[in-house]
Structure 1
């Protein structure tokens, strides 16, 4: 060991979103080779697994100058830090290094584990659980009481997409996701048929795999139309529906409903003439015909009408002498 070698300090971090003990190979190598392993937290989640692996951990938090002195002679000291880091230690090391009076050991930040994609969803579930237990408003909500918010958030998401606002899109996606987690948390409390967010996720995973045999199985699909045709066939078998119109929610906006019915009939190869109404209610039938024809032409009639309505709104504002902002709203 070189007496002139200032040694090394390794700050070892780990994600609380990954099961304790699942550390990277470089982390385990560093821990086993270290001269000292320190941890100020007696309840640090990694400690039982380090003890099982034969790694001795000292429950101490020496100040920065003592830690630097301990590294002299080429020694390596590993410090296990929590998810929030160790501000006291890092600030102390920064002051010593900035003073220019101390020969500093090498300082290394070693992530022992990384968040996997989707790991922040675990945070959302935990936060929702705490709010459900502690918030007077949230704790009283039911599926029925929340239903209207799901519709509102879905429309706000569509508006963000049509506006092309990326920041707004990210926020509205989060609001829609919250509705899913919120409803799943409420469902968990049901006395007769409880289920939670893991059950919700498992159901959609199973459905996606089953309906994509060209991805997870032996079937092939060359075009998007091939995929859609298989999807519809699979749904028909799963749901055992008597009619192609079964499962079409009649409570959705009228143009979307008309287009969906037209799409179902066309996909089933049915040539169904459009109905004609009496003069008193002929407007609805004319709108029905327009919506069905728009769908046949690959146009979303709801989106087309919203775009036209926005243009009309801007024209009204212009007639009033008002200036529209980037999204058609006065600044």
Structure 2
């Protein structure tokens, strides 16, 4: 008497795709698996991938196209799937295309398969998770653009905002970002970077609408914003994208300043310095422009603390110190001293 060879268990493949990648763009292993499969199932009859698969000659059974007498994918249980794999057959399951994570049906299906595998009563087919498409770096930015677009359309507050109305938030978020950097808190830094990024996407979405307050200005989108900065970065980094060389940070800065001078065609080294920035930062920026241009400009003399602060800011810039950062650091130490005094006062009072 000879032992019978065990039946070939077959294979269940859960084929996942990213909704951030254009439908139909699949990896080669995914196409190979789909073409070789005995049955391809998708409970979502509106899945964006289905037209491309059918155009490629792959039969896909969905909840609205299942043949008479054959259970629709949405009705299949985990045990049904296991039975479908009998004799070494391969069944590919395509989850719903609703976004991140599994749909409710696929979640129940995978849970059921896990329970069957743990029961030990059923010979399980091989289970495989096959990514058919992958998110590229920056893919979640597409989600941000999509969410912002919907909020702009449907939120009563966001739909009425203007560039001028949001300006103060840009300043606040920038300061909060600086504070997170100085605190050295990685979680806080990530959150504040997101808040600053939101301001960029929000303003770009407003510009896309072409508001009345901007009459005469061409609307633009977040893609136009990104294209502009990409073009600028490439143009200002000829040592990376061109034939020039730069071996030190000073070389890079020299490239940058020369390129900016040609682009802006400024009449003065002070052109482009925003006067609305904090006073110490403004004084430092002006001093840096003077030093870079090699100009010999005497500091204006006058009475009052303003001229003293100006002189200190220029001295700091010459020493390579950001006066704003230095003052904030000193102010934070002062704040800690105040809290210590308050705590001591409370204890003795």
**TM bucket by the smaller chain?**
over 0.9
**Distance between the aligned counterparts of 1:26 and 1:244, measured in 2?**
58
Unmatched tracts of structure 1, length 5 or more: 324-331
Identify the match of residue 129 of structure 2 among 81, 100, 109: 109
Q: 1:190 maps to which residue? A: 210
Identify the match of residue 332 of structure 2 among 310, 315, 328: 310
**Distance between the aligned counterparts of 1:203 and 1:239, measured in 2?**
15
Q: Output one character per residue of 1:200-248: Cα deviation in whole Å (capped at 9) or x when no partner.
A: 0000000000000000000011111111111111111111100010000
Q: 2:306 maps to which residue? A: 284
1:76 equivalent to 2:76? Answer no
**Distance between the aligned counterparts of 1:166 and 1:68, measured in 2?**
46
Describe how 1:57-136 pairs up with structure 2 within 5 A: 57-59=60-62, 60-61=72-73, 62-82=76-96, 83=99, 84-85=101-102, 86-136=106-156
Residues 33/123 of structure 1: CA separation in 2 closer, same or farther (3 Å cut): same
Once the two structures are TM-superposed, the CA of residue 3 in structure 1 deviates from its matched residue by 7.2
Once the two structures are TM-superposed, the CA of residue 272 in structure 1 deviates from its matched residue by 1.1
**Distance between the aligned counterparts of 1:315 and 1:58, measured in 2?**
71
Once the two structures are TM-superposed, the CA of residue 275 in structure 1 deviates from its matched residue by 1.2
**Distance between the aligned counterparts of 1:38 and 1:314, measured in 2?**
63
Q: Output one character per residue of 1:34-69: Cα deviation in whole Å (capped at 9) or x when no partner.
A: 111111111111111111111111113111111101
For normalisation by structure 1, the TM-score amounts to 0.94
Q: Which runs of 4+ in 1 moved over 3 A?
A: none
**Distance between the aligned counterparts of 1:74 and 1:142, measured in 2?**
62
Q: Output one character per residue of 1:294-326: Cα deviation in whole Å (capped at 9) or x when no partner.
A: 111111100000000111111122222269xxx
CA contact (8 A) 1:294 1:301 kept: yes
Q: 1:328 maps to which residue? A: none
- Three-state SS of the structure 2 residue aligned to 1:275 is coil
The RMSD of aligned alpha carbons is: 1.3
Describe how 1:153-192 pairs up with structure 2 within 5 A: 153-190=173-210, 192=216
**Distance between the aligned counterparts of 2:85 and 2:343, measured in 1?**
73
CA contact (8 A) 1:3 1:74 kept: no
Once the two structures are TM-superposed, the CA of residue 147 in structure 1 deviates from its matched residue by 0.1
**Distance between the aligned counterparts of 1:322 and 1:227, measured in 2?**
51
Q: 1:329 maps to which residue? A: none
Unmatched tracts of structure 2, length 5 or more: 63-71
Q: 2:12 maps to which residue? A: 9
